[in-house]
Each structure stands twice: as C-alpha cells, then as structure tokens.
Structure 1
Amino acid sequence: MLNLSKNGCSVWVASSSVGLLTPTAIALGKFDGVHLGHQRVIQPVLHTDDQLSVTSSPQSKEKQEYIYSTVVTFDPHPQEFFTGQPRTLLTPLDEKVQQLRSLGVEQLVLLPFDKELSALTPEEFVQKILVQQLRCQQISIGQDFCFGEKRSGTAKDLQLIAAKHNIPVTIVPLQTYTGNSPTESSCVSTNSTQDARISTSLIRQTLEQGDIENANLLLGRPYTLLGVVVQGQQLGRTIGFPTANLQLPKEKFLPRQGVYAVRVFILSETSDIVSSESLGVMNIGNRPTVNGTYSSAEVHLFDWSGDLYGKKLAVELVKFLRPEQKFASLEALKTQIQLDCVIAKEILNSEWEQ
C-alpha cells in the first residue's frame, strides 16, 4: 500500500526536500488519529468536483497548474523529539496513509522534525518550508495550531505571515463532542467526553479506560489494530479456541488490557482490499493464566477455519467486554472464553441489525 519511492495507487509520501509534488494546498498539523477534528481541517484542501472539472488529473495541466491536496505533518512527533522518549501513536504511518487516502488526500509530506526545524522562527518556517519547498497555494489549520521556535507562532500569526505571500489560510474552529455528533466551538472544555474538545489526547484517554464506543465516535470510525499474523504459543487451539497472534507496529497505541468484541477483516496480499471478514473476540494483554511475560494481541474468529499465518488483518474494536484476569486453570479460562463469545456475538449481531 505504501511506497516511499514512487507514486502508486495510494498516497504519495515524501519528505520536505525529496520527491515532492508541487504546488500544494496543505493541511498542516500532527494529525495522529486522523479523527473528526483533523478531518475538518483537511477538508478545505481536498479537490471538489468543480476543481476537478477544470483539471481532472495531475496530467491535465493545459488550463492551470495542478495543485496537489497535501497533508503536512512531522516525523518524529514533536513530543518525541523534545522528550527523547518514544511515543505510541493512534495511527502509525501505514494506517495514517490509509486513512488519508480514504479522505481523498493525494500527498503526505513528513517534515523531519529535528533541531534545525524546531529552531525556525515562524517567518522562516513559512518562507523556507511552505513557500520555497512546498510551493504552497492554500493552507488549512486548526484554531489551536502553533508553530515555529518554542511554539511562538499562532494560527493568527500564520494567517498574517502567509498573507504577505498571497497565501490564504483557513482557520478551522475547534470541534467539540456533544452527544453523538461533533460541533464547532471557540473554547476548550475537558469536563467530560460528552462536552469536550475532540483531540488525540482525549481519544487516548477513552481508549485507556476501555471506553471504545466514545473513542470510535471521536475518531469517526472504529479504532483499528492493523498487523500481520505470526506464530504464537498455540495454546488457544488446545482449549478449542484457536487465536491469531497479531504482530503490531511497535509504536501502535494499545487500549486497556482485556477482552473485546471485534470485527476482523482479512486483507489481500497485494493491497488493502478486504478479501473476507469475520466477527470475533480479541484479548489484549499479558495472558496471566499461562504466565505470559509480554503483551500480545490475539483474536479468535467465529466460524473460521483456515491458515491465517502471514495474513494481514484489520481488527476493529467494537466493545470492551472485561478486564484481563488470571484463572485458576485452563478449564476455567475456557469456560470464560465461551461466555465471552456468547456476549460478543449478541453485541455484534445486534449492532449489525441496527
């Protein structure tokens, strides 16, 4: 799906100095999670039907120069750079590309966040990065966007500086979550998930609590674990519940340890097209009953028989069922898994009927 060296059928991925497609209309930010708030920031730079009727593809440049809808973000995450500590992500690069592609983004630019970039003044950032390297024609940012040395530049500052280069800047109001839908807000509230700014940190918090329903609403889609099936200890099959051991990116943010009702999509080998799908239960944790010493993500698929080794799975979390616990015996664990499966099937089938 992702190719850093040539333009495939997905999203062109480039650094700020190598392989850029220009000129650009850019959405600028960190975009970890590509949640509902991020999607509102990205929307202004996507091509509309009217725009595409003038120049329908990057190869059609007779009437005007084609402007590439582009998301610009930072690698590594600025927090990781400043703290020196690895940071887990809601959407590692592969997932981020997949989500951006589904929105209609044509290019993802990863600005190398290093000492040199972090030391640029707001004016230097606009001149050197946005104007000279990206040949930016339009910018969209969130209301709380900060940039430049010591985060000294605000969204309004960017608007003023960009105006000197005749670049329009759209400042998107913060999105708050109320009930079952996002709303625009000019203030930040963190009293509860029901009345709070949609943010990556809030989604991480809800996932840590096992509040999958609210996390999924804030994301605008189910939280997904994307990985390849590798060989595990094969203990599940000895008690009648074979599991697929999912190898996840090391930087993937994991939710609360425990058991989840899930939807599982088996992806084709050559692309991310779904070849088949199933329902199931997933355990995320250390498997204390069998004295596990490391965290794992294992999924049991209902009504499935076949070899999944080497297959790429996308596992959507639907509901948290229970915390991980240590059982006195494998037989007690088997009894609990049977109950987990019954509950999960009820939840997943009722959701499907809705």
Structure 2
Amino acid sequence: MIGKNMSEIEDIALGAFDGMHLGHKALFDRLSEKGAVVIIDKHNANITPGRYRCEYVDRPCFFYDIKDIKELDAKGFLERVKKDFPKLKKIVVGYDFAFGKDRKYSIEDLKKYFDGVIEVVDEVKKDGISVHSRVIREFIKKGDIKRANTLLGHTYKIVGEVVKGQGLGKKKLYPTVNVNPKDFVLPKNGVYATITDVNGFYEPSVTFIGKRVSTDKIFSVESHIIGKDIGEAKGEVTILFFDRIRDNKKFDNLEDLKKQIEKDIDIALEIVKEHII
C-alpha cells in the first residue's frame, strides 16, 4: 500500500475501479472530506490501469496489491484495513462488491467483521445501460468510443512511449507520432478523431490503429498532429479518443492514401471542435 495520512482517513470507497466510470463516481460522491479511495489492484486493469486511476478523483488514493491480500479471509482482510485506517468509520462499496480469494466473500462479510457503517451504492445506469467496466471495455473493443465515453463520464485515453515508425509519413504522407501503449485496452482497428498530448500540449489529431495494410503490414498506433510540426517527439504520449471515423482500408497507391488522410483530417477537426471549443 502507498499513500500518506492513512491515520486521518475516516471513510473509504473500496474496489478494483478499472475505468473510474460513472458507477465508481457514485461511490466517490459518498465520501467525506476525510475520505479516500482504496484500490484493490489486481494488475489486470486495462481501461484505467495503475496510478492513472488517481487522476479522476479529488481524494487520496491508496493501493492494496492483490498478491498481498489474496490469501486473507474476510476477517483477516478487515483487520488489515482497520489497522491501516485506525479512524475508519465507513466503507462504501458497490452493490456487486465481492472480495477475497475467488471473490468468495460478500458485502454480508464486510458487515459481519466491520463495526462501522457499510454503505452500499445501487447499480448506476446511463441511457438505459448498466455502467460496468466489462461493458465499457466491450464498447472500446468494438470502436464505439462515444458510448464508452458516455459511461465513463470522461474521455477515454491511452498512454504510451514514443517508438520509431517506418518514416514514410513524414516523407510522402503526413508525419505521425508512433506510440507503444502498454497496459491499455486498444479501440478496434481503424481511424479516430483524437487529441494528442505531445511535449505537454494537447493538439487535434487523427489516430490510426491497426496493420499498415497499404505499406509495410506492421501493426501500429500512430497519431498525426493536425496543422502543426511538432518535430521529434520523445518520451510519453497521451491520446484521447472522441469518435471513430472509419475502418482500416487498403489503398492501391500512396496518393490515394494521402487523399483519404486529408478527408480524415477534415472529419476529425469537426469532431474535435465539438469537444474542445
């Protein structure tokens, strides 16, 4: 576990919290000024992995590594929590919360071994859809970014290190930043309207995901920054996704591909303007 001032925390929201979506926000809204988010990190989060979760809450975040607690029974886990948070008065969980090895313990076990308040938050729905990480993940995989963003309550993003590309874009097409996004679930192959943070500035962009079927057949994630020469990008890049423009498509020549990219740019600019202006 990491974090500060654990001894001052009086209430916690407890869960795995992959996605930090509207359902999770309903838990966070029940926290007091002395509240915190406690994340059981199973290392399989791929909508909002690792410490990126902390960007979406205005409370301290603390992590339990699943490897450290997976052998604990309900009583042992609650003893650990109460020891870590000696002033704890309330635990907030979702209606389907389960914990322990093979998720064998339930909310009733929390109530049995915790002498404070167990507050259970009901299912959250948006546009008639139950808000769950697994649902959002499937929307992302299908390329339905708009619906995923609606359930998230924020714009889906991926983060990755800049990697070397084939160099063709800068010479004959449009220059791109090539990214290796570790730990994040990728949207369905295709072309997306995005904004990309390169060197600390978010810029409108067109992002491609998939095999470069018109050139070297290599899988890539790459963004063209619209209307700006960013030079040589290095380090970490963040891409925020607004909507899907089209499928990946094979072109007979680079001139046809370039014309299509020009159309993609126009569409992306119109979409991005709706969100950032």
Please say whether Structure 1 and Structure 2 have the same fold, judged by a TM-score greater than 0.5. Answer: yes
Cα distance change of structure 1 residues 108 and 267 upon mapping to structure 2, 3 Å threshold: farther
Cα distance change of structure 1 residues 287 and 44 upon mapping to structure 2, 3 Å threshold: same
2:65 corresponding residue in structure 1 = 112
Q: 127, 151, 164: which one pairs with 1:231? A: 164
Q: C-alpha distance in 1, partners of 2:50/2:275?
A: 30
Q: Deviations over 1:3-52 (max 9, x none)?
A: xxxxxxxxxx718xxx77324322110101111111111222241xxxxx
Counterpart AA for 2:211: N
Runs of 4+ in 1 over 4 A off after TM superposition: 350-353
2:142 corresponding residue in structure 1 = 209
Q: C-alpha distance in 2, partners of 1:138/1:292?
A: 54
2:85 corresponding residue in structure 1 = 134
1:60 corresponding residue in structure 2 = none
CA positional deviation for 1:169: 1.7
CA contact (8 A) 1:176 1:197 kept: yes
Q: 67, 70, 77: which one pairs with 2:36? A: 70
* 1:302 and 2:226 matched: yes
2:207 corresponding residue in structure 1 = 282
* 1:221 and 2:124 matched: no
CA positional deviation for 1:315: 1.7
Task: Describe how 1:70-109 pairs up with structure 2 within 5 A.
Answer: 70-77=36-43, 87=44, 89-99=46-56, 103-109=57-63
Give the secondary structure class of the aligned counterpart of 2:208. Answer: strand
Q: Deviations over 1:224-270 (max 9, x none)?
A: 1223433322211122310011232x2111110110011223454xx
Counterpart AA for 1:104: D
Which consecutive unaligned segments of at least 5 residues does structure 2 have?
none
CA contact (8 A) 1:46 1:105 kept: no
Q: C-alpha distance in 1, partners of 2:223/2:242?
A: 13
CA contact (8 A) 2:92 2:121 kept: yes
Q: C-alpha distance in 1, partners of 2:251/2:51?
A: 37
* 1:177 and 2:126 matched: yes
CA positional deviation for 1:350: 4.4
1:27 corresponding residue in structure 2 = 13
Which consecutive unaligned segments of at least 5 residues does structure 1 have?
1-12, 48-66, 78-86, 179-194, 269-275
CA contact (8 A) 2:139 2:148 kept: yes
TM-score with structure 1 setting the length: 0.71
TM-score with structure 2 setting the length: 0.90
2:185 corresponding residue in structure 1 = 253
Cα distance change of structure 1 residues 341 and 98 upon mapping to structure 2, 3 Å threshold: same
CA positional deviation for 1:308: 4.2
Q: C-alpha distance in 1, partners of 2:100/2:156?
A: 32
Aligned length: 275
Percent of matched pairs sharing the same residue: 28
CA contact (8 A) 1:142 1:171 kept: yes
What's the RMSD between the two structures over aligned residues?
2.2
